Chain A
């Protein structure tokens, strides 16, 4: 263990191995799984199996149906396409849900008239910037909390986390006052800072867990070799890379999906997608087709993110409670 490089590799391999082991449980039909199946069959209850499949199928339908209606509605022309069949006319319902002439009118309207490209960019800049700030400062702070021993550490840690838990509405008014003093209102920096209030504590929380999981011996050995602590921190960054990825993704998600901050402090110059989507409701008419299209534009990038990096998403969404 004197060579830190080897130690690092050993450490990461072990983690890898651990994952592989977990995976094996799930995927390889080992005897244990068979045993369970036999138990079920042995008790003569195929019914249980059917019930499970039915429940899961229903749950998947319940989860996906709103998405289906959202997508199809975003491609439906105004007027008749939006009307409902007579109550109880299931055949007519199926026809309306499946067979209609799609139109991209709502999307072209959004982008041609509604400046949605700009809102999209605003969302992207605000989300990414806040994520980067949070992950940079979060890494150093989490490292210090994980490794440091100092008085009041627990209280400091709790204070940091509690800022993440504050009701959004409660902090909006005072933040508004601060931003006003610094002339930040209606700018992206205001949004970026507001998101950082929630993202930074979150980053510290998650990353502390990851640093805790890295054996101190690795750094110790490295520092014995004459490297500074900063270099040691840099050295173990690859070991917490999954954590960093989880944090970036989750910070982006939180900021991207925020409504209240952007509504109160964003203004036109920093209007984000959720605010723009809600803004399609007006006192003189609701264009549901357009709202559904705008909703699609808002949710699609996050869905993609969720599918591509599912693992980190799970980790972050559960506030680190799940470590895969």
Chain B
């Protein structure tokens, strides 16, 4: 097994000195520029625009100039209680769904890793991820519906839900959306962790089992160190997507009831597209962007570590 892992390293040719042989500059430009120019147009302009707008009140008529308001949008943001509340809801939502997804996903990965039906199970697990998030949101809204919803009916019949409904209660609605997130994205975590587990030399696991370490201890001693990197990636990716994609929220609650599910990106969406507070929206967008970029930096560092030093990683395991 160890041999196999080593072979994997060489066959993949990840010799750090290998691929980085210089490409002459005259090739670089035509290779890189099309992509870079396209991305620059579509990402730097928006970024500059956001910064500019965050210092302006938007002209509300065609041709009306934007009015420079200095730091008004920013100071408003810092004193806006809903802004902070929305951060809080986003954090609560992200942390809880992350804990569930990582826990369930890791368990699934371990079971999948040794299952005879791995391929079939992965195919099934992929299914929720194929669904457009807004369609998933609509489907779950239907399942939760107090008149037609089967999940509502099941919870009621089991006596797990006494008064009220799922999406109508400010105590439950957020957790109901967490459930949708868990349904759709736990498999992603499972697959990433599974890839980490594949790197664990099987005989080590077995040896650990044979030694009588038991499944739990051998997991913590052998598997966990190996999948730490993958777990980190999974967590960061999921966190970024929680900020990026709000389709579940749009379809399921629109932020209600009583703002109990108004996560920050949704608040931004409301300010920008329902109220056309484009200047204020820009300030919120920039703070969100900043946080995602910080997280992004962490993700990329993780990936680079993994890709540059797979050999080192394997050594650590032995």
* Contact sample, A vs B, 27 pairs, CB 8 Å cutoff: A33-B114, A52-B111, A59-B108, A63-B125, A82-B148, A87-B153, A93-B157, A147-B19, A149-B21, A168-B246, A169-B246, A170-B46, A174-B49, A175-B42, A201-B39, A215-B19, A216-B18, A256-B132, A257-B135, A259-B247, A295-B131, A307-B123, A313-B126, A317-B126, A321-B303, A322-B191, A322-B194
- Given A161-B300, A174-B49, A214-B13, verify A150-B202 contact (CB < 8 Å): no
Q: Does A303 interact with chain B (Cβ within 8 Å)?
A: yes
Give residues of chain B (176-198) contacting chain A, Cβ–Cβ below 8 Å: 183, 187-188, 191-192, 194-195, 198
Which residue, of B130, B187, B206, B288, has the highest number of chain A Cβ atoms within 10 A? B130
CB distance from B255 to the nearest CB of A (A): 13
- Given A162-B296, A170-B50, A229-B24, verify A318-B35 contact (CB < 8 Å): no
Q: Contact: B202 with A146, CB < 8 Å?
A: no
Q: Contact: A212 with B245, CB < 8 Å?
A: no
Q: Does B31 interact with chain A (Cβ within 8 Å)?
A: yes
CB distance from B287 to the nearest CB of A (A): 10
A binding-site residues for B, Cβ under 8 Å: 11, 14-15, 17-18, 21-22, 25-27, 32-33, 35-36, 39, 43, 48, 52, 55-56, 59-60, 62-64, 66-67, 69-70, 73, 82-85, 87-90, 93, 97, 137-138, 140-141, 143-150, 156-158, 160-163, 165-175, 177-178, 193-194, 196-197, 200-201, 204, 209, 211-217, 220, 229-230, 253, 256-260, 264, 273-274, 277-278, 281, 288, 291-292, 294-295, 298-299, 302-303, 305-307, 310, 313-314, 317-324
Q: Contact: B45 with A178, CB < 8 Å?
A: yes
Q: Contact: B244 with A299, CB < 8 Å?
A: no
Q: Contact: A60 with B124, CB < 8 Å?
A: yes
- Given A90-B157, A93-B153, A229-B23, verify A166-B292 contact (CB < 8 Å): yes
Q: Does B312 interact with chain A (Cβ within 8 Å)?
A: no
CA distance A141 to B124 in the complex (A): 34
CA distance A63 to B128 in the complex (A): 7
CB distance from B279 to the nearest CB of A (A): 11
Q: Contact: B303 with A299, CB < 8 Å?
A: no
Specify the chain B residue showing the minimal Cβ separation from A64.
Answer: B124
CA distance A178 to B11 in the complex (A): 46
Q: Does B272 interact with chain A (Cβ within 8 Å)?
A: yes
Contacts of B138 in A (CB 8 A): 277-278, 281, 291, 295
Contacts of B81 in A (CB 8 A): none
B binding-site residues for A, Cβ under 8 Å: 1, 4, 7-8, 11-15, 18-25, 27-28, 30-32, 34-36, 38-39, 41-43, 45-47, 49-50, 53, 104, 107-108, 111, 114-116, 118-119, 121-135, 138-140, 142-143, 145, 147-150, 153, 156-157, 183, 187-188, 191-192, 194-195, 198, 202-203, 206, 209-210, 214-215, 230, 233-234, 237, 240, 243-247, 250-251, 265, 268-269, 272-273, 278, 281-282, 285-286, 288-289, 292-293, 295-297, 299-300, 303, 307
Q: Contact: B126 with A306, CB < 8 Å?
A: yes
Top 7 nearest A-B pairs (CB, nearest first) are A174-B46, A215-B13, A170-B285, A141-B35, A257-B132, A322-B195, A144-B31
- Given A59-B108, A217-B18, verify A140-B142 contact (CB < 8 Å): no
CB distance from A154 to the nearest CB of B (A): 8
Question: Besides A140-B31, A167-B243, A292-B139, 6 other CB < 8 A contacts?
Answer: A21-B7, A25-B1, A35-B206, A85-B153, A148-B23, A169-B246
Q: Contact: B35 with A213, CB < 8 Å?
A: no
CA distance A201 to B206 in the complex (A): 40
Contacts of A141 in B (CB 8 A): 31-32, 34-36
Specify the chain A residue showing the minimal Cβ separation from B289.
Answer: A170
CA distance A12 to B180 in the complex (A): 41
Contacts of A318 in B (CB 8 A): 188, 191-192, 195, 234, 237
Q: Contact: A167 with B23, CB < 8 Å?
A: no
Contacts of B123 in A (CB 8 A): 306-307, 310
Which residue, of A48, A66, A274, A307, has the highest number of chain B Cβ atoms within 10 A? A66
Specify the chain A residue showing the minimal Cβ separation from B251.
Answer: A278
CA distance A193 to B37 in the complex (A): 13
Specify the chain A residue showing the minimal Cβ separation from B282.
Answer: A173
CA distance A215 to B134 in the complex (A): 42
Specify the chain A residue showing the minimal Cβ separation from B42.
Answer: A197
Q: Contact: A143 with B31, CB < 8 Å?
A: yes
Contacts of A215 in B (CB 8 A): 13, 15, 18-19
Q: Contact: B153 with A84, CB < 8 Å?
A: yes
